[in-house]
Amino acid sequence: MAVETTAPAQAPALRLLRMTLNGRPVELEIAPRELLLPVLRDRLGMKGAKLSCDVQVCGACTVLLDGVPVSSCTTLAYEADGKSVETIEGLAHDGRLHPIQAAFIECGAFQCGFCTSGMILSTKALLAETARPTRDEIAAYLSGNICRCTGYWNIITAVEDAAGRLAGDGEEEGA
């Protein structure tokens, strides 16, 4: 399946990749064939994005490229050149969770957690586009993210809850 099996006779020329990763500039040399997910995970230590289907179906590897969710398993690392990349590691600040993370915890929106970073980042992109999505809109937007554990109900509830938190609704909902 989607495994790189090109065996170059000579190492191809490396290219310089410059991007912003979670708000900080990063520069590194990459081979043209390198994909974004292994670069993030193995070279930059951002292990929150996960590899699952490897064919752009499941969304476990989702990161934000200039705010747009992409499957990093099938994105060339070089496509991030000059762009800003956001991973799950960039969401919490000074030990304070992002409201979407807090909502996911509060609503029980994950079990094993393997889909969670992708799910949260897709949610972030959704809520940046649509501040108050309906349940149907949430389901439609997130249909590129699979979760095998939860059955999705609690995720939709968490996205609604997160929308409320980001819109500044009472902090104590559900108390």
Interacting positions 24-63 with another protein (CB under 8 A): 38, 41, 46-55, 57-58, 60
Pick the closer one to ligand FES by CB: 127 or 142: 142
Q: Which residue among 35, 44, 70, 115 contacts ligand FES (CB under 6 A)?
A: 115
Does residue 123 come out as left (phi exceeding 0), alpha (psi in the -120 to 50 range) or beta?
alpha
For residue 169, how many other CB atoms are within 10 A of its CB?
A: 11
Q: What's the CA angle centered on 79, arms 77 and 83, to 5 degrees?
A: 105
Does the protein bind another protein through residue 150 (CB under 8 A)? yes
Q: Which is nearer to ligand FES, 103 or 147 (CB)?
A: 147
> Does position 164 bind another protein by CB under 8 A?
no
**# binding residues, ligand FES (CB under 6 A):** 23
Q: Which of 44, 91, 125, 126: binder of another protein (CB under 8 A)?
A: 91
Contacting residue, 66, 131, 148, 153, with ligand FES by CB under 6 A? 148
Q: Does 106 bind another protein (CB under 8 A)?
A: yes
Q: How far is CA 13 from CA 10, 34, 64, 76, in A?
A: 9, 12, 27, 15
Considering beta carbons, is residue 26 or 57 the nearer one to ligand FES? 57
Nearest 10 degrees: Cα torsion 160, 108, 165, 161: 20
**Which residues in 46-105 contact ligand FES (CB under 6 A)?**
51-54, 56-61, 71, 73
When asked if residue 14 is in the footprint of another protein (CB under 8 A), the reply is no
What b/e sequence results for 15-42 when a residue is b if at least 16 CB atoms lie within 10 Å of its CB, and e otherwise?
eebebbbbeeeeebebeeebbbbbbbbe
* Alpha helical stretches, state H, the chain: 36-38, 99-106, 116-129, 135-141, 153-166
Residue 126 binds another protein, judged by CB under 8 A: no
Where along the sequence are the contacts to ligand FES (CB under 6 A)?
A: 51-54, 56-61, 71, 73, 110-116, 147-150
